[in-house]
Amino acid sequence: MPIRRHVIPAAAIYFAALTATALLASCGGSSSNPLDNPNAIENPPVTSGQRLSFAYFQKCINPIFIAQLPVQISGSTTTNTCAGSGCHDTVTGTGGAFRVVPAAQPLDVLDPAVTPDVIRQSDMYKNFYSAQGEVVLGSTTQSRLLAKPLLLNVLHGGGLVFPSQDDPNAKLIKYWISHPAPQGQDEFSTATYGMFTPADPNTGTCNTQ
């Protein structure tokens, strides 16, 4: 019995080739050769957002992380630090991405020798960078740096650290988050010195309103 072979019409083959070419081109392939490497893709330039003040962080926020604070966990009150072992200590902490170097030393930001490059190599800047990563600019209550210790619709293994948003430490963090450097200026902008009274990051007191 003769074997019958199915012959695909030439028009169908041509149509399938055109379809494959179109699909490959839509995924980035070269329109001239669907088996070629994808065309070069240029990403748009990144528009950097505003930065939070390093000077205010160093003097007003970092001390909160190393202070002994009353903490409420499961109805019991104990005392601990955010930078403690098992919490956010950079070496032994288990508190997620937020890390603190407890022994970070403050720097004199008014000293001309303390350049931004010098600051960025310091442990204090590591703390600043990590804390800033827990912030949503424009929303203090969505910023985990404040929402977690307040237990604002989010779990916190460290318990309730600030009893309310009127807590003095909570006010400092709120003020820091809501007063970034002017658009286009970095975290070392002298414009942020107005966050102190007088406007001096060494001698001024930390504003909260």
Residue 91: the pLDDT is 86
C-alpha separations of 132 from 6, 22, 29, 119, 135 in Å? 67, 46, 40, 15, 5
- Return d(Cα 4, Cα 13) in angstroms, integer: 20
Query: Is the pLDDT confidence value at 180 over 90?
Result: yes
Region 123-128: what's the mean pLDDT?
97
pLDDT per position as a tens digit, 72-103: 988 889 998 898 877 898 888 877 789 999 99
27 vs 181 pLDDT, higher one: 181
117 vs 83 pLDDT, higher one: 117
Nearest to 66 by CA among 104, 117, 97: 104
Looking at the chain, the whole-number percentage of residues with pLDDT higher than 70 is 77
Residue 136: the pLDDT is 94
Residues forming a β-bridge with 206:
196
What's the pTM? 0.75
Lowest mean pLDDT segment, chosen from 4-13, 99-108, 111-120: 4-13
- The angle formed by the CA atoms of residues 196, 50 and 117, to the nearest 5 degrees, is 75
Residues 6+ apart with CB under 8 A from 132: 51, 52, 57
Residues forming a β-bridge with 79:
70
